[in-house]
């Protein structure tokens, strides 16, 4: 490896080194959670800045393991930026907990794990070899199940962490076996060689079996149907900022890997594979949206909604060379921003040990905390894909990517699903903007709003000061609106970054 290689890898190096620093700081920070938090933010900011350094060397393949090009750097920037926002959201959310059961702990290992998980995702997004794929994936998974079970005092968290551990382990086994078969068939650990074997026409059974096994591992990470069963439990039990991280970074990195894997030849040449992916996409859309309809807990609603969104994203991935990468890139930003906005708002509402999860606890939120309610509502509308939000433009690009006749069917299914999804997104919005009670509304109607105001006042709490989580919400909302109104510059940027795909 040359020094130039190090330059290209500098974001990863910084994140890896920085995570150690965070661990050290937290060891000496005593009970002050602010120190590791601040260091983690600095590390993430440095890693983001280093993307610029790496850009000067792109495109560059390093040691046949990773490919540092525009698309990779875009994904890494997105991952680090998201981790930055997740860290912001985490600060208040995690602080009281680490204070309570403090055995002289600062809770700094939380940020260490967060950095490691981002590192794993960044490696995954750059992987061109099965070695780096596995490395990134495991780094991500191991950090995640510790993060999911981070609140040790809660049984439900430990349960979910254990569940994730077992399922992640099992899916890794599938992935590994698939890799072994791929090595047997092609004699190489490069993902491109497997893709080439697929594209060569009438691939032999080993290649197909290897791809099939790997699909299980990939499907698990993406939480695509039928590998989605862990999603609602884990989303529900994990600390909300961690849920946000799973919903965005962990899935996005895998989607980026998939795009890169299929980029040279496209899925079309892979026998029955387009059909399998199409079926997974359709099933994910329908299962996610239909299961979300009856949910009454907001984190579970978002869990199912994320399954549906992976279904939408798969349509773009199937779309093939030239169209998949820019569409996926744009959709990821849109989806990341909307999800982060929603999860950040939910985290900000959590008090002490109590999660604000039941939909009923969101009733009349708009009159108690209008800013927060507006942010959450906007995120929901963006997830639903309504105009003026990033979600609308994302959906537009997916429709546009689905040029082929075969994909039109999926585009229409997406249209149907987006209608179904409106129902549960609106349910959340509607409850936030309803009066505190239906009786109160009637009374308010009659007496000119006086009593509605009064009942609102008794329920209201003093709004908390503008915290780091609020900053994250503001950033997410600004991105959502900016992309919904003027997506042009970003689309052009993405096009130039993904020119080779």
Partner 1 sequence: MNHSLFSLSLFILVPILSAILILAAGDRRPLLVRWISLLANFVNLVLALVLWLLGAGAPPAGSAAGLASGSASGAWLAVESHAWIPSLGVSFTLGLDGLSLLFVILTALMGAAAVLASWKSLKRKVALFHLALALVMAGIYGVFLSVDLFLFAFMWELMLIPMYFLVDVWGGPGRHKASVKFFLFSQAGGILMFVAVVALYVLHGRATGVYSFDYRVLLGTAFGPAAGMLLMLGFFAAFAVKLPVFPLHAWLPDTYTEAPTGGSVLLAALLSKTAGYGMIRFLLPLFPDAVRGFAPIAVWLGVAGIVYGGFMAFAQKDLKRLVSYTSVSHLGFVLVGIFTLTAQGLDGAVIQMLSHGIGTGALFVLVGWLEERSGTRDLDRLGGLWSKAPRMGAFGLVLTLGLVGLPGLGNFIGEFLVLSGSFHAYLAATIVAGFGLVVAMVYALRMFQLSFHGSPSGALTVSDLGAPQVLLLGVLVAALVYLGLFPQEVLKLLATLGASLGLTPGVMP
Using CB under 8 A, list all residues that contact partner 1: 381, 386-388, 392, 396, 399-400, 403, 408, 411-412, 415-416, 418-419, 422-423, 426-427, 430, 433-434, 441, 444-445, 448-449, 452, 486-488, 491-492, 495
174 vs 392 by CB, closer to partner 1: 392
Peptide bond into 226 cis (omega under 30): yes
The least CB distance from residue 318 to partner 1, in Å, is 16
Query: What is the DSSP code string of 428-458?
Result: HHHHHTS-S-HHHHHHHHHTTTHHHHHHHHH
- Name which of 209 and 290 has its Cβ closer to partner 1: 290
Phi, psi of 190 (to 5 degrees): -75, 135
Distance CA 47, CA 70 (A): 16
**Residue number with CB closer to partner 1 (177 or 433):** 433
Question: At closest approach, how far in Å is the CB of 424 from partner 1?
Answer: 10
Nearer to partner 1, 216 or 485 (CB): 485
Strands (E), 78-162: none
Burial class (CB in 10 A: 0-12, 13-18, 19+), 155: exposed
Q: What minimum distance in Å lies between the beta carbon of 235 and partner 1?
A: 25
Closest approach, Cβ 449 to partner 1, in A, equals 4
Rounded CA separation 248/26 (Å): 26
Answer whether 44's CB lies under 8 Å from 115's CB. Answer: yes
CB closer to partner 1 out of 173 and 412: 412
Q: Which residue, 369 or 427, is less far from partner 1 as judged by CB?
A: 427
With contact defined as beta carbons under 8 Å apart, do 326 and 319 qualify? no
Q: Are 68 and 8 in contact (CB under 8 A)?
A: yes
Least separation, in Å, of the C-beta of 314 and partner 1?
17
Count Cβ atoms within 10 A of the Cβ of residue 374 and give its class: 0-12 exposed, 13-18 middle, 19 or more buried. Answer: middle
**At its nearest, how many Å lie between partner 1 and the CB of residue 493?**
10
Cis peptide before 362 (omega within 30 of 0): no
Q: Judged by CB, which is closer to partner 1: 241, or 391? A: 391
Q: How far is the CB of 478 from partner 1 (least distance, A)?
A: 17
Q: Which of 346/407 has CB closer to partner 1? A: 407
Task: Name the pairing type of β-strands 60-62 and 66-68.
Answer: antiparallel
Element (H or E) spanning 126, and its range? helix 108-126
Q: What is the largest CA-CA distance in the chain?
A: 80
Least distance in Å: CB of 125 to partner 1? 25
């Amino acid at each position: 490896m040359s020094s130039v290689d190090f330059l290209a890898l500098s974001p990863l190096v910084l994140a890896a080194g920085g995570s150690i620093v965070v661990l050290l700081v937290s060891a000496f920070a005593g009970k002050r959670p602010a120190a590791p938090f601040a260091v983690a933010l600095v590390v993430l900011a440095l890693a983001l800045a280093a993307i610029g350094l790496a850009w000067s060397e792109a495109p560059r393949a390093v040691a046949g393991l990773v490919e540092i090009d525009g698309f990779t750097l875009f994904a890494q920037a997105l991952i680090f930026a998201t981790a930055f926002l997740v860290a912001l959201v985490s600060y208040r959310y995690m602080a009281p907990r680490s204070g309570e059961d403090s055995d002289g702990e600062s809770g700094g290992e939380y940020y260490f794990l967060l950095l490691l998980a981002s590192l794993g995702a960044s490696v995954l997004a750059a992987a061109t070899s099965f070695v780096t794929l596995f490395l990134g994936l495991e780094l991500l998974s191991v950090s995640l199940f510790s993060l999911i079970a981070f609140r040790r005092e809660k049984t439900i968290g430990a349960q979910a962490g254990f569940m994730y551990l077992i399922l992640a382990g099992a899916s890794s086994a599938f992935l590994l076996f698939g890799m072994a078969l791929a090595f047997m068939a092609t004699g190489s650990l490069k993902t491109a060689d497997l893709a080439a074997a697929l594209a060569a026409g009438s691939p032999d059974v080993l290649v197909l079996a290897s791809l099939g096994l790997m699909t299980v591992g990939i499907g698990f990470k993406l939480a695509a149907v039928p590998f989605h069963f862990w999603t609602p439990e884990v989303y529900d039990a994990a600390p909300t900022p961690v849920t946000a991280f799973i919903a965005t970074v962990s899935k996005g990195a895998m989607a980026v890997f998939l795009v890169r894997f299929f980029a040279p030849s496209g899925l079309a040449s892979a026998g029955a594979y387009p059909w399998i992916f199409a079926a997974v996409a359709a099933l994910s859309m329908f299962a996610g949206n239909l299961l979300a309809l009856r949910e009454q807990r907001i984190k579970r609603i978002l869990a199912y909604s994320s399954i549906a969104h992976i279904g939408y994203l798969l349509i773009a991935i199937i779309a093939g060379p030239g169209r998949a990468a820019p569409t996926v890139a744009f959709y990821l930003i849109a989806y990341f921003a909307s999800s982060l906005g929603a999860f950040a708002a939910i985290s900000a509402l959590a008090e002490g040990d109590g999660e604000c999860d039941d939909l009923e606890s969101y009733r009349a939120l708009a009159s108690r905390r209008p800013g927060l309610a507006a942010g959450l509502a906007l995120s929901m509308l963006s997830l639903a894909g309504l105009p003026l939000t990033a979600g609308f433009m994302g959906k537009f690009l997916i429709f546009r990517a689905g040029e082929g006749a075969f994909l039109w069917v999926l585009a229409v299914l997406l249209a149907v699903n987006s209608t179904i999804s409106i129902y549960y997104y609106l349910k959340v919005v509607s409850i936030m903007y309803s009066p505190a009670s239906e009786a109160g509304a009637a009374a308010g109607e009659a007496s000119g709003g006086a009593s509605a105001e009064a009942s609102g006042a008794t329920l209201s709490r003093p709004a908390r000061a503008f915290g780091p989580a609020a900053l994250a919400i503001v950033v997410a909302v600004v991105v959502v609106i900016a992309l919904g109104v003027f997506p042009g510059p970003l689309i052009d940027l993405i096009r130039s970054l993904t020119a080779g795909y």
